[in-house]
């Protein structure tokens, strides 16, 4: 099976999971049995709203709700299965509209309890969908172009969404420590969410991250541990810790809580469609790190269609990578189903995952929807960051530079239709990745404090001279 390697490190988790008290549990059984005593499908002691079970994305086998993420039969990754609300779509839209201005307005569609909005949380989501007319003109887009700007979240990245969902799972399973392996943004999101929700946090990052992300991850008072190596080395270490007594009582949001964590990205799809007037975008450009965000946005779009909240019509999904870490793009262009790992070498460190867990599923979605996966080099990333800032006043981190740069490239190569409604994701704030643009960005001039010096610098321009003359 081509995806067997995706979840092989979950064997330890499955064999020695954690129950609601933090103690080791027995191995997971087959069928609908749960991971030890972490509950089972329909178990009333675990309230995760409409979530009913975990389902293998490969073989379809089901397991009870618990802190596991791999199928014991085929090692395929698990995802949340639901009993979603039925009835009149207009009534559901009304219910959503009456909810809070954050992701909890979609609680009926998420693995969270009905009273989630009343619990201590950073309450992320419902970020701006910016109609980017200036950028559209620069790129030659004649249709409608929108930037989904997730830098407006509490810790200034989309990771607040996924962590918020993982926190609810951690509460349900009785964990006391929140943890993660991270390229930076997730570490900060976990630290902040843990502080707000009353958890201890201990997060792990590569030792050479951007200083802004390091400081932001550390400031919330939890433990921050730098690991000598790449993100993939950090992730392997975390999988070992989960299988060790040292990790008892720990909820790793992107490992043993990954099925729930991933569902947070669906809220991007929900918001985009609601903000477009309950319409699907024709095209959407999404950055690829592990690939989970892209696959869950697609899942969210399909759920909205199934519920009758949007019209069922075609849409295309495009994945965006940095050339220095582009295993999915490379596989897509070569027509391969297998994603070969790469050693990252790019300024887009938030996307620098050389062995992306959801890579094969990204390939499936891009091909199924008629989209593509493309990449841009570091120089193009920087140019795109500056282009977005100059045209729309949005300072994106390097991942946003990747999506904007790839959008430009897709238009130039004819893969993206400039006449259609297009949404491009910016998943983080440029203040976190200042090093990427600092070498080529600074003062236009440094002058003495006098009008003569200003004139001599040639910066006054015709408008300035006219105003002075008037």
Nearest to 265 by CA among 396, 373, 395, 153: 153
CA-based end-to-end distance of the chain: 76
Whole-model pTM above 0.95? Answer: no
DSSP-derived secondary structure for 316-385: EEEEEEETTB-HHHHHHHHT-SS-------SS-GGG--SS-TTHHHHHHHHHHHT-EEEEE-HHHHHHHH
Q: What phi and psi values does residue 393 have, to the nearest 5 degrees?
A: 70, 25
313 class by beta-carbon count within 10 Å (0-12 exposed, 13-18 middle, 19+ buried)? exposed
Q: What phi and psi values does residue 128 have, to the nearest 5 degrees?
A: -70, 140
Query: Residue 209 has what pLDDT?
Result: 84
* Distance in angstroms (rounded) separating the CA atoms of residues 133 and 462: 26
Query: Residue 463 has what pLDDT?
Result: 53
Q: What is the dihedral of CA 393, 399, 404, 409, to 10 degrees?
A: 160
Pair 406, 318: CB distance under 8 Å: yes
Q: The tokens of 269 are what?
A: 């799809």
DSSP-derived secondary structure for 256-294: TTHHHHHHTTHHHHHHHHHHTTS---SEEEEE-SSSHHH
Pair 395, 130: CB distance under 8 Å: no
Q: The tokens of 168 are what?
A: 């609810």
Q: Return averaged pLDDT per consecutive 10 residues of the chain, 470 residues in all.
A: 41 38 32 34 73 96 95 95 94 97 98 97 98 98 98 97 98 96 92 97 91 91 94 90 90 95 98 98 97 98 98 98 98 97 95 94 98 98 98 98 98 98 97 93 94 91 47
Query: Residue 464 has what pLDDT?
Result: 46
Nearest to 249 by CA among 10, 13, 7, 18: 18
For 197-276, where are the E strands, in sequence order?
A: 200-206, 223-227, 250-252
| Side-chain half-sphere CA neighbours of 87 within 13 A | 10
Q: What is the dihedral of CA 84, 85, 88, 92, to 10 degrees?
A: -100
Adjacent-strand bridge partners of 373: 319
* Distance in angstroms (rounded) separating the CA atoms of residues 427 and 148: 8
* Distance in angstroms (rounded) separating the CA atoms of residues 52 and 54: 7
Query: Residue 404 has what pLDDT?
Result: 98
* Distance in angstroms (rounded) separating the CA atoms of residues 188 and 130: 25
Q: What phi and psi values does residue 202 have, to the nearest 5 degrees?
A: -145, 115
Pair 222, 202: CB distance under 8 Å: yes
Pair 305, 338: CB distance under 8 Å: no
């Amino acid at each position: 099976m081509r995806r067997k390697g995706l979840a092989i490190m979950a064997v330890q988790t499955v064999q020695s999971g954690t129950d609601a008290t933090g103690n080791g549990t027995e191995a997971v059984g087959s069928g609908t049995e749960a991971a030890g005593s972490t509950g089972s499908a329909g178990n009333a002691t675990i309230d995760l709203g409409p979530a009913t079970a975990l389902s293998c994305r490969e073989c379809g086998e089901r397991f009870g709700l618990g802190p596991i993420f791999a199928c014991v039969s085929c090692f395929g990754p698990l995802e949340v299965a639901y009993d979603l609300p039925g009835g009149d779509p207009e009534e559901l839209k009304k219910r959503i509209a009456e909810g809070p201005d954050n992701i909890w307005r979609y609680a009926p569609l998420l693995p969270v309890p009905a009273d989630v909005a009343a619990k201590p949380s950073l309450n992320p989501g419902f970020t701006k969908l910016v109609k980017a007319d200036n950028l559209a003109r620069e790129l030659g887009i004649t249709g409608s172009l929108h930037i989904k700007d997730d830098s407006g979240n509490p810790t200034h990245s989309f990771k607040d969404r996924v962590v918020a969902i993982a926190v609810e799972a951690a509460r349900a399973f009785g964990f006391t420590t929140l943890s993660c392996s991270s390229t930076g943004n997730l570490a900060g999101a976990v630290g902040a969410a843990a502080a707000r929700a009353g958890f201890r946090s201990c997060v792990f990052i590569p030792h050479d991250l951007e200083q802004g992300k390091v400081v932001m991850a550390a400031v919330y008072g939890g433990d921050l541990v730098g690991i000598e190596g790449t993100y993939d080395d950090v992730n392997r270490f975390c999988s070992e810790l989960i299988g060790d007594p040292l990790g008892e009582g720990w909820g790793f949001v992107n490992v043993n809580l990954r099925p729930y964590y991933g569902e947070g990205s669906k809220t991007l799809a929900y918001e985009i469609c609601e903000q477009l007037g309950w319409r699907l975008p024709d095209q959407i450009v999404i950055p690829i790190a592990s690939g989970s965000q892209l696959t869950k946005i697609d899942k969210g779009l399909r759920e909205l269609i199934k519920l009758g909240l949007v019209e069922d019509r075609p849409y295309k999904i495009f994945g965006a990578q940095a050339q220095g870490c582009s295993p999915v793009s490379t596989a897509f262009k070569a027509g391969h189903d297998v994603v070969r790992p790469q050693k990252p070498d790019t300024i887009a460190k938030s996307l620098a995952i050389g062995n992306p867990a959801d890579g094969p599923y990204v390939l499936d979605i891009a091909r199924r929807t008629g989209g593509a996966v493309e990449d841009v080099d570091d120089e193009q990333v920087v140019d795109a960051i500056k282009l977005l800032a100059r045209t729309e006043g949005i300072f994106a981190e390097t991942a946003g530079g990747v999506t904007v740069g790839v959008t430009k490239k897709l238009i130039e190569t004819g893969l993206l239709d400039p006449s259609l409604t297009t949404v491009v994701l910016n998943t983080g704030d440029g203040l976190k990745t200042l090093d990427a643009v600092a070498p080529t960005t600074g003062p236009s001039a440094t002058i003495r404090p006098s009008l003569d010096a200003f004139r001599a610098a040639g910066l006054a321009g015709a408008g300035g001279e006219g105003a002075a003359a008037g």
